């Protein structure tokens, strides 16, 4: 696998951001330190905790694009905005909350760079280290993955993972519509329908608690069920 600067940017890192003032500087340090030529696209989704002002200060820095949504619309909306701006060979989604480790980008994109894959999912459940947290969240993730697999005929272990790396031309060809976390099953179903070659690789995961700022809730799980039905079954 070649990661030479001559190929820059190999990667477009899309970072949706909402009220992450406590972690935004650290995640930027970690993303920048990852040994892959990259551009970084930060999309603030109407933050009200100072994050927006911090990102405005960073605007114009080399290799960094800052986009400010005028109001909060949801993670999916921020991801869609970032995807439209991407120019790298591969797009990867990076949450701003330190749950996912940017040092693992080379592992995540290797199957694409080698020509074996069109998309790679980083699975939190394939044997790497993970912080022990909520049982019901883990059960819910497993259920959503199983139902998504029924609808798409894939055999993923972690459909809801944030770490999805996709060839830019492919992901920009999709008309993604979901505003919140429903973008995960929507993108998965559209990758499956496109005939994309999908790989999974193990990743580490340092989940956070609600007290630490976790935002996804049970209503998002219900929405995910609807999205699995809508994009995986109704639109076959």
pLDDT tens across 74-122, in order? 999 999 999 999 999 999 999 998 999 999 999 999 999 999 999 999 9
Q: Which tokens in the block code for residue 139?
A: 């059960």
User: N- to C-terminal Cα distance for the chain?
Assistant: 35
Exposure pattern of 36-64 as b/e (b: 16+ CB <10 Å)? bbbbbbbbbbbbeeebbebbeeeeeeeeb
Residue 224 pLDDT level (bands cut at 50, 70, 90): confident
CB 122 within 8 A of CB 88: no
Q: What is the pLDDT of residues 185-223, one digit of tens each?
A: 999 999 999 999 999 999 998 765 545 545 566 576 777
Report yes or no on 69 lying in a domain. yes
Strand 164-167 to strand 198-202: parallel, antiparallel, or no bridges (unpaired)?
unpaired
Report yes or no on 2 lying in a domain. no
Question: Domain range for residue 109?
Answer: 7-234
Give me the residues paired with residue 66 across strands: 42
Residues 172-177: what's their mean pLDDT? Answer: 96
pLDDT at 5: 44
Report yes or no on 1 lying in a domain. no
For the domain that residue 168 is a member of, what is the CATH number? Answer: 3.90.550.10
Q: In angstroms, rounded to a whole number, what is the distance separating the alpha carbons of residues 77 and 14?
A: 12
Q: Is it the case that residue 1 has pLDDT exceeding 50?
A: no
CB 159 within 8 A of CB 224: no
Tally of domains in the chain? 1
Report yes or no on 182 lying in a domain. yes
Task: Round the average pLDDT of the chain to a whole number and report it.
Answer: 88
What's the whole-model pTM score? 0.87
Share of the chain above pLDDT 90, in %: 71
pLDDT at 3: 47
Residues 5-12: what's their mean pLDDT? Answer: 71
């Amino acid at each position: 696998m070649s990661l030479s600067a001559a190929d820059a940017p190999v990667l477009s890192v899309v970072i949706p951001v909402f009220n992450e003032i406590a972690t935004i500087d650290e995640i930027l340090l970690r993303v920048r330190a990852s040994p892959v030529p990259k551009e970084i696209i930060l999309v603030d989704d109407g933050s009200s905790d100072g994050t927006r002002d911090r990102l405005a200060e960073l605007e114009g820095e080399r290799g960094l694009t800052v986009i400010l949504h005028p109001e909060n619309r949801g993670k999916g909306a921020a991801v869609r905005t970032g995807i439209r701006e991407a120019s790298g060979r591969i797009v990867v989604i990076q949450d701003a909350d330190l749950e996912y480790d940017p040092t693992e980008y080379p592992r995540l994109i290797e199957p694409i760079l080698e020509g074996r894959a069109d998309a790679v999912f980083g699975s939190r459940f394939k044997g790497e280290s993970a912080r022990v947290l909520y049982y019901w969240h883990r059960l819910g993730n497993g259920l959503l993955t199983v139902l998504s697999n029924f609808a798409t005929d894939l055999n993923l272990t972690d459909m809801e993972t944030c770490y999805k790396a996709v060839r830019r031309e492919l992901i920009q060809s999709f008309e993604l519509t979901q505003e919140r976390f429903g973008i995960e099953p929507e993108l998965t179903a559209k990758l499956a329908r496109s005939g994309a070659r999908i790989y999974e690789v193990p990743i580490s995961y340092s989940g956070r608690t609600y007290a630490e700022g976790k935002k996804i809730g049970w209503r998002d799980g219900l929405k995910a069920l609807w999205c699995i039905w809508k994009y995986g079954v109704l639109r076959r």
